[in-house]
Chains A and B, each alone.
Chain A
Amino acid sequence: MMATGSDAPSPARTALVDAAKTGLVAGLLAFPVLALRAEPDFSNKLVLQQRWSWMLVAAIAGFVLRLLLALAPTAKPKSATQTPTERAARKGPKIFAAFGLAIIAAWPFLVLLVVGPSGALKWIDNYGVQILIYVMLGWGLNIVVGLAGLLDLGYVAFYAVGAYAYALLSTTYGVSFWLCLPVAGILAAFWGILLGFPVLRLRGDYLAIVTLAFGEIIRVVLINFSALTNGDAGIASIPRATFFGLAFVAGPRGFDAFFGLPFSPVHRLIFLYYLILVLALVTNMVTLRLRRLPIGRAWEALREDEIACRSLGIDTTKTKLTAFALGAMFGGFAGAFFAVRQGFVSPSSFNFTESATILAIVVLGGRGSQIGVAAAAIVIIGGSELLRELDFLKYVFGQDFDPTQYRMLLVGLAMVVMMNWRPRGFVSTREPSIYLGASKSIGADLVQEGRG
Chain B
Amino acid sequence: MEVFLQQLINGLTLGSIYGLIAIGYTMVFGIIGMVNFAHGDVFMLSAFIGLILFLALQQFLGLHSAALSFLIVLFLSMALTGLWNYAIERAAYRRLRGSFRLAPLISAIGMSIFLSNFVYVAQGPRNKALPGSFDEVIKLTHGGAYDVTLSYKQILIVVVTAVLLAAFWYVVQRTPLGRAQRACEQDAKMAALLGVDVNRTIAATFVIGAALAAVAGVLYLLYYGVVNAADGFVPGVKAFTAAVLGGIGSIPGAVIGGLLIGLIEVFWSAYFSADYKDVAAFSILAITLIFMPSGLLGRPEVEKV
Contact = CB atoms under 8 A, between A and B. Distances in A.
Given A48-B56, A48-B59, A419-B96, A413 B35 contact: no
Query: Binding site of B, secondary structure by majority: helix, strand, loop or mixed?
Result: helix
Given A411-B113, A416-B111, A213 B282 contact: yes
Interface string A210-237: 1011101100110110000000000000
Contact of B100 (A32, A223, A449): A449
Contact of B122 (A37, A208, A451): A37
- Which of B77, B233, B290 gathers the greatest number of chain A CB atoms within 10 Å? B290
B48 interface: yes
A113 interface: no
A419 B126 CA distance: 32
Contact of A409 (B52, B114, B282): B114
- Which of B110, B123, B128 gathers the greatest number of chain A CB atoms within 10 Å? B110
B284 to A, nearest CB: 9
Interface in B41-69: 45, 48-49, 51-53, 55-56, 59-60
26 contacts: A26-B87, A29-B80, A32-B53, A37-B122, A38-B52, A38-B55, A48-B52, A149-B102, A199-B290, A202-B293, A209-B289, A210-B286, A213-B237, A213-B285, A214-B286, A223-B275, A224-B276, A356-B109, A406-B121, A409-B118, A409-B120, A412-B113, A412-B114, A419-B107, A423-B100, A423-B103
Given A153-B109, A413-B110, A423-B99, A405 B120 contact: yes
A408 interface: yes
Interface in A68-90: none
B35 A205 contact: yes
Contacts of B45: 33
A409 B117 contact: yes
A440 B239 CA distance: 47
A359 interface: yes
A419 B285 contact: no
A19 to B, nearest CB: 13
B84 interface: yes
Contacts of A448: 100
B305 interface: yes
Top 9 A-B pairs, shortest CB-CB distance: A415-B110, A412-B113, A412-B114, A450-B100, A409-B117, A419-B107, A213-B282, A416-B110, A224-B275
Interface string B67-96: 000000000010010011011000110011
A45 B99 contact: no
A314 interface: no
A142 B107 CA distance: 18
B247 to A, nearest CB: 13
B124 interface: yes
Contacts of A151: 102, 105-106
A414 B80 CA distance: 25
B217 to A, nearest CB: 12
A32 B48 contact: yes
Contacts, number: 189
Contacts of A206: 35, 289, 293
A36 interface: yes
A271 to B, nearest CB: 35
A47 interface: yes
Given A48-B56, A307-B305, A412 B111 contact: yes
Contact of B286 (A39, A213, A307): A213
A17 interface: no
Interface residues of A, number: 66
A48 B34 CA distance: 37
A175 B84 CA distance: 54
A208 B286 CA distance: 11
B131 interface: yes
Contacts of A210: 285-286, 289-290
Interface in A23-60: 25-26, 28-29, 31-34, 36-40, 44-48
Given A205-B105, A408-B113, A419 B99 contact: yes
Contacts of B59: 47-48
A100 interface: no
B220 interface: no
Nearest to B107: A419
Contacts of B121: 405-406, 409
Chain B interface size range: 35 or more
Interface string A386-414: 00000000000000000001101101111
B286 A420 contact: no
B107 A33 contact: no
A245 interface: no
Interface string A111-150: 0000000000000000000000000000000000000010
A181 B47 CA distance: 46
B279 interface: yes
Interface in A419-452: 419-420, 423, 448-452
Interface in A188-215: 198-199, 201-202, 204-206, 208-210, 212-214
B279 A416 contact: no
Nearest to A419: B107
B299 interface: no
B56 A416 contact: no
Nearest to A424: B100
Given A405-B120, A416-B92, 8 more contacts: A26-B87, A29-B84, A29-B87, A38-B55, A198-B290, A217-B283, A419-B92, A420-B92
B80 A32 contact: yes
B110 A28 contact: no
Interface string A358-400: 0110010000000000000000000000000000000000000
Nearest to A33: B122
Contacts of A449: 100
A216 B237 contact: yes
A352 interface: yes
Given A199-B290, A307-B305, A356-B113, A37 B107 contact: no
Given A209-B35, A408-B113, A420-B107, A25 B237 contact: no
Given A205-B101, A224-B276, A29 B51 contact: no
Nearest to B101: A450
A272 to B, nearest CB: 29
Contacts of A208: 35, 102, 105
B231 to A, nearest CB: 14
A406 B122 CA distance: 11
Given A48-B59, A217-B279, A419 B106 contact: yes
Given A32-B53, A38-B123, A416-B110, A205 B83 contact: no
B206 interface: no
Nearest to B77: A32
